[in-house]
Structure 1
Amino acid sequence: MLRGLVLDFGGVLTDFGDDYVVEPPLLTVVREVRKHGILTGLLSNADGLWAPPTEWTGLFDAVVISGEVGLAKPSTAIYRLTADHLHLTTDECVFVDDLAINVRGAAAAGMVGVHHTSIPTTIAELAVLLGFPLLP
């Protein structure tokens, strides 16, 4: 059973799609899954100087930044560390990234991987995997 959603920052949480929206649609998905008790994580290969925007405070149960932990995607160790920060096992997590190599790294670590190629496709895949509707 999937109990955690982990997302990449650049290319995933920065994707506004084709429609004008106030916030990236996958950030809205984060808000929705939290209502269903799903733990959320942000995993980025950013340097140690980067931090999520302050308006995202409280949206993620774990934030793992490569520059802070000395590991980087697609190393399986960083996915395990992220799951540990969520107090979950990797097989309880789904990971979303726009780079296929990082999705393969997550799968090698035991996570379900979703290769983000478009907002509608990613949302549809997550809805099936998590077992409840997300955005229309």
Structure 2
Amino acid sequence: MTAPAAAALVMDYGGVMTDGPPVATLPERARRAGVPTALLTDARAVPAEVAALFDVVVTGDDGPRKPDPAAFRAAARAVGVPVERCVVVDDEPANLRGAREAGAIVVGHVDAATTVFEVEVLLDLHLE
């Protein structure tokens, strides 16, 4: 069996992580599977309990802001994975376009069930 093309998870905070379970369990599940995770948000700060779910947190104060493709490249660098191997989950179409322009694999968050399924498939997480 070959390794999946996707090797890291980059998630948005507002509108994605705030959607609650089961979306909010994805970072923990990815980390258990050895997949590096990043929270990429334009917010200045996020609750400590949310930040703790991720390997790294990249906020709007850390550099380029979404939807600039450079923001997605910065998140990829922060987890040490080429942007082309990062799954980016966001709910804003402009941000999804920026992530795609950067070369990332995008998942447009509309509902929890679809997002969870797509991330599970792309990162080869065990279905729960």
Query: Please, what TM-score do these two structures have when normalized by structure 1?
Result: 0.84
Equivalent AA in structure 2 for residue 4 of structure 1: A
Structure 1 gap segments, 5+ residues each: 17-23
Q: Which runs of 5+ in 2 are unaligned?
A: none
Structure 1 residue 92: Cα displacement: 1.4
Residue 114 of structure 1: how far off its partner (Å): 0.4
Equivalent residue number for residue 7 of structure 2: 3
The higher-RCO structure (CA 8 Å, 6+ apart) is: 2
Match of 1:39 among 32, 36, 39: 36
Secondary structure of 2:107's partner? strand
Aligned residue in 2 for 1:55: 49
Provide the rounded CA distance (Å) in 2 between the counterparts of 1:70 and 1:57: 18
Aligned to 1:19: none
User: Counterpart of 1:55 in structure 2: which amino acid?
Assistant: E
**Moved runs in structure 1, 4+ residues, more than 4 A?**
none
Determine the C-alpha separation between the residues in 1 that align with 2:54 and 2:16: 15
1:76 matched to 2:69: yes
Q: How many residues align?
A: 124
Give 1:55 deviation, angstroms: 2.2
Larger Rg belongs to: 1
Aligned match of 1:122: 115
1:36 corresponds to which letter in structure 2?
Answer: A
1:55-77 Cα shifts (integer Å, max 9, x gaps)? 235421111111x1242111011
Asked whether 1:86 is paired with 2:70, we answer no
Alignment check: 8 A CA contact 1:90 1:109 kept: yes
**1:20 matched residue in structure 2:** none
CA gap 1:134/1:40 in 2 versus in 1, 3 angstroms: farther
CA separation in 2, counterparts of 1:53 and 1:45? 14
**Identical columns (%):** 40
Which residue of 2 is the match for residue 30 of structure 1?
Answer: 27
Provide Cα deviations, 1:6-43, integer angstroms capped at 9, x if missing partner. 00000000013xxxxxxx32221211111110001000
Question: CA offsets, 1:37-56, max 9 Å, x none?
Answer: 0001000011x3x2x22223
For the residues of structure 2 that align with 1:56 and 1:9, how far apart are their CA atoms?
9
- Whether 2:69 is the aligned partner of 1:65: answer no
